[in-house]
Amino acid sequence: MRVVVLLATGLALIVVAAGCGASEPSLQTAAAELQKDTQRLETDDVFKNPTYKLRILQRPDKDIPCDKDKFKRVMRATADYARIDEPLFHHLDRAQGLMENRLIRALGYELDLDITQSDADEGRFIYGMKGDSGVKVTVYVAPEAPTWRIHAQTACLSK
């Protein structure tokens, strides 16, 4: 029984020590990553095509207060995916798939896939995160134009 207690105590200490070494990124690091994502979005082969009507509504170039002595950066954009003569759920499936592909391949996000909304005709959400920088992205895939409403932000961080 002592061996089990000693092993459990040792494992707990290792877990605590591993957690202590991890630190959150600085606002400067996270903001730089979000600014790169904005540039990657603008120069991506898909979104530089004018038919997608990419519009950057808010650039991540201003610190936004979000807690005592902490700040975040935010990027907001829209783009459109023209619907051809097809059922709405096909259009949403294609738009969602294309955006998920770009977020993973071009921007490097890890997505939190939610299959419960795969049949939703009222719109769908895509959630992603970049582990190193803590940048989170949410994309609403809408049944009407603009098809994609992109919102990415850093965590609330110290300068």
CB-based contacts of 2: which residues, under 8 Å, 6+ apart? none
Give the per-residue pLDDT at 23.
75
Residue 34 token pair: 């979000």
What is residue 37's DSSP assignment?
A: H
Give the per-residue pLDDT at 131.
86
Length of the chain: 159
- Average pLDDT score over residue span 112-116: 87
HSE-up of residue 65 (Cα within 13 Å, Cβ side) = 3
- Average pLDDT score over residue span 114-120: 83
Residue 86 vs residues 50, 54, 68, 82, 119: alpha-carbon distances, Å: 22, 23, 50, 11, 15
Q: Is the pLDDT of residue 3 over 60?
A: no
CB-based contacts of 153: which residues, under 8 Å, 6+ apart? 34, 60, 72, 73, 74, 75, 135, 136
- Average pLDDT score over residue span 34-52: 96
The pTM for the full model equals 0.83
How is 68-127 classified by DSSP, letter by letter?
Answer: TTEEE-EEEEEE-----SS-HHHHHHHHHHHHHHHHHHTT-PEEE--GGGTT-SS-EEEE
Which residue in this structure is represented by tokens 């049944």? 143
Which residue in this structure is represented by tokens 């803590």? 134
How is 15-34 classified by DSSP, letter by letter?
Answer: HHHHHHH--PPPHHHHHHHH
Give the per-residue pLDDT at 120.
87
Which residue in this structure is represented by tokens 């990657």? 40
Give the per-residue pLDDT at 119.
81
- Residue 22: band (very low, low, confident or very high) from pLDDT cuts 50, 70, 90: low
Q: Is the dihedral of CA 98, 103, 108, 109 positive or negative?
A: negative
- pLDDT tens-digit profile of 47-72? 999 999 999 999 999 999 998 999 99
- Residue 24: band (very low, low, confident or very high) from pLDDT cuts 50, 70, 90: confident
